[in-house]
Amino acid sequence: MQTTFKKVSESAVTFSELMLPSSSNFNGKVHGGYILSLMDQIAFACASKHSGTYCVTASVDTVNFLAPIEVGELVTMKACVNFVGTTSMVVGIRVDSENIQTGKVKHCNSSYFTMVARSADGKSVNVPGLVLTTKNDVRRYTRSMQLKELSKQHKEITKNFKFDMIEAVEKLKNERVKIDLL
């Protein structure tokens, strides 16, 4: 039974970094993989702060790149624990970028990282419960519950998937695909 609780605000983390040419892709925008790496770091920091122990990334749910990030923009990431299980936490991350010359801010990404607390010997350990103090905290928690349920349903569908070649070929007739089996 959990006996300790922490407020969402106690483990919230904010991180800002100026985007440099060294993190750009071939199109001159900031590489999405670089942003994902930063998101993983802030998710680790937030989850570790909440749990008081080392944490590992168990899954990353839905990463949508909503707007490109330009070299020279200031990227700010905000992370907070949205949901806690027994040993896991869902960390919500919001990524904004700001053109520091014009002051224009754009929302570039939101994502959810499931992090698991680990002991020094690598075993999962219990995490503190979560104290919800705002309407936003309650909204994020209940949304995370819904997303976890959808994830369970997706795993079940994937586990029970049966492949039938004739049925598959029939479904693909109206798709932009050419079947050329050897």
Is residue 166 situated within a structural domain? no
Identify the pLDDT of residue 1.
Answer: 52
> What is the average per-residue pLDDT within 72-80?
98
Q: Which two three-digit tokens encode residue 145?
A: 């519950």
Q: Is the pLDDT of residue 80 over 70?
A: yes
State which residues form the domain around 121: 5-133
**31-45, 103-117, 151-165: segment of lowest average pLDDT:** 151-165
Burial class (CB in 10 A: 0-12, 13-18, 19+), 29: middle
Question: Minimal CA–CA distance to 129: which of 91, 79, 86?
Answer: 86
Give me the chain's average pLDDT, please: 95
Is residue 102 situated within a structural domain? yes
Is residue 26 situated within a structural domain? yes
CATH number for position 74 = 3.10.129.10
Is residue 20 situated within a structural domain? yes
Distance CA 152, CA 155 (A): 5
Burial class (CB in 10 A: 0-12, 13-18, 19+), 143: middle
> CA separation (Å) from 163 to 36, 153, 168?
33, 19, 7
Distance CA 159, CA 58 (A): 19
Identify the pLDDT of residue 62.
Answer: 82
Query: Number of folded domains in the chain?
Result: 1
Is residue 122 situated within a structural domain? yes
Is residue 79 situated within a structural domain? yes
Q: How long is the chain?
A: 182
Is residue 154 situated within a structural domain? no
Is residue 168 situated within a structural domain? no
